């Protein structure tokens, strides 16, 4: 019986890929090479340091650990200068309504994100209070497709993994959900995410009723959900 929903942040709740792109592109330009939108696609769901490794591989450059840490810090400072100006209007369409509906029906909600900036983003879009548990890049040691982030989320909620649904936009994120023995809903392109239990374009027009119907899984709606 489904009792909880776990959400990735970047690409599911907010579109931060455009800010990551600007910041990584600035670093690439400083290092003297081009960084394209197609390159940026490869960084979705990937941790900050692994993203830097991919970027340097694209540029064919090698640096010491210390230099790489300084570069990641610089990229993050530019990224943060954008996300600290985010407003609730930047929440992707339908997300807030869907979270509210889940809450009202007594379904527990957790965040499962690789981003160390998750607390700031949730604060800026004023959604922190919607989550019963938050697991982010500050509290995990293994990157998706390792299931750690989602297993920790389920544990914090006190719900068994098989009673959880994960919402994810990245291939590695769907794999992490499957590795955690959870149901998965892909947000985006069915060609890429077709191996998830269900794929939807986004939350606009989506509802708990549609989720129950299309996932074909039994849900447990306890009486007295929170409004």
Contact between 20 and ligand BG6 (CB under 6 A)?
Answer: yes
Catalytic annotation present for 123 = no
Contact between 39 and Mg ion (CB under 5 A)?
Answer: no
- Residue with the two structure tokens 């690409």: 11
Report the residue number, 45 or 153, with the smaller CB distance to Mg ion: 45
Q: Which of these ranges, 34-42, 70-78, 169-177, 200-208, lies near Mg ion under the rule CB under 5 A?
A: 169-177
* Closest of 118, 123, 145, 147 to residue 134, by C-alpha: 118
User: In the window 1-30, what residues touch Mg ion (CB under 5 A)?
Assistant: 8, 10-11
Give the CA radius of gyration of the chain: 18
Contact between 175 and Mg ion (CB under 5 A)?
Answer: no
Q: In what order do the strands lie in the sheet with 198-200?
A: 133-135, 108-112, 4-7, 164-168, 183-187, 198-200
Angle CA 127–43–211, to nearest 5? 45
Using DSSP's 3-state secondary structure scheme, residue 34 falls into coil
Minimal distance in Å, beta carbon 126 to ligand BG6? 19
Angle CA 60–58–62, to nearest 5? 35
User: In the window 129-158, what residues touch Mg ion (CB under 5 A)?
Assistant: none
Q: Which of 2, 13, 44, 99 binds ligand BG6 (CB under 6 A)?
A: 44
Q: Which of 6, 27, 46, 187 binds ligand BG6 (CB under 6 A)?
A: 46
Minimal distance in Å, beta carbon 144 to Mg ion? 9
Contact between 91 and ligand BG6 (CB under 6 A)?
Answer: no
Catalytic annotation present for 132 = no
Contacts of 155 (CB under 8 A, 6+ apart): none
Contact between 186 and Mg ion (CB under 5 A)?
Answer: no
Q: Is the CB of residue 186 less than 8 Å from the CB of residue 174?
A: yes
Minimal distance in Å, beta carbon 105 to ligand BG6? 27
Q: Is the CB of residue 83 less than 8 Å from the CB of residue 64?
A: no
Residues in contact with Mg ion by the rule CB under 5 A:
8, 10-11, 45, 169-170
Binding residues vs ligand BG6 (CB under 6 A)? 9-11, 20, 43-48, 51, 76, 113-117, 137
């Amino acid at each position: 019986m489904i009792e909880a929903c776990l959400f990735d942040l970047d690409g599911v709740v907010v579109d931060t890929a455009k800010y990551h792109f600007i910041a990584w592109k600035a670093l690439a330009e400083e290092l003297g090479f081009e960084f394209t939108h197609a390159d940026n696609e490869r960084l979705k769901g990937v941790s900050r340091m692994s993203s830097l490794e991919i970027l340097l591989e694209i540029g064919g450059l090698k640096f010491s650990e210390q230099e790489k840490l300084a570069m990641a810090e610089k990229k993050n400072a530019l990224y943060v200068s954008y996300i600290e100006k985010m407003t609730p209007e930047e929440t992707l369409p339908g997300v807030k309504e869907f979270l509210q509906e889940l809450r009202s029906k007594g379904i527990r909600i957790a965040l499962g994100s690789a981003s160390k900036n998750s607390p700031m983003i949730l604060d800026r879009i004023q959604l922190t209070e919607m989550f019963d548990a938050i697991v982010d890049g500050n509290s995990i040691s293994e990157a998706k497709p390792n299931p750690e982030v989602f297993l920790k989320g389920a544990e914090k909620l006190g719900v068994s993994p098989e009673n959880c649904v994960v919402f994810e936009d990245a291939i590695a994120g769907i794999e992490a959900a499957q590795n955690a023995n959870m149901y998965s809903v892909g947000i985006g392109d069915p060609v890429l995410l077709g191996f998830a239990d269900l794929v939807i374009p986004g939350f606009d027009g989506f509802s708990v009723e549609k989720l129950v119907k299309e996932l074909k899984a039994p849900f447990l709606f306890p009486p007295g959900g929170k409004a």
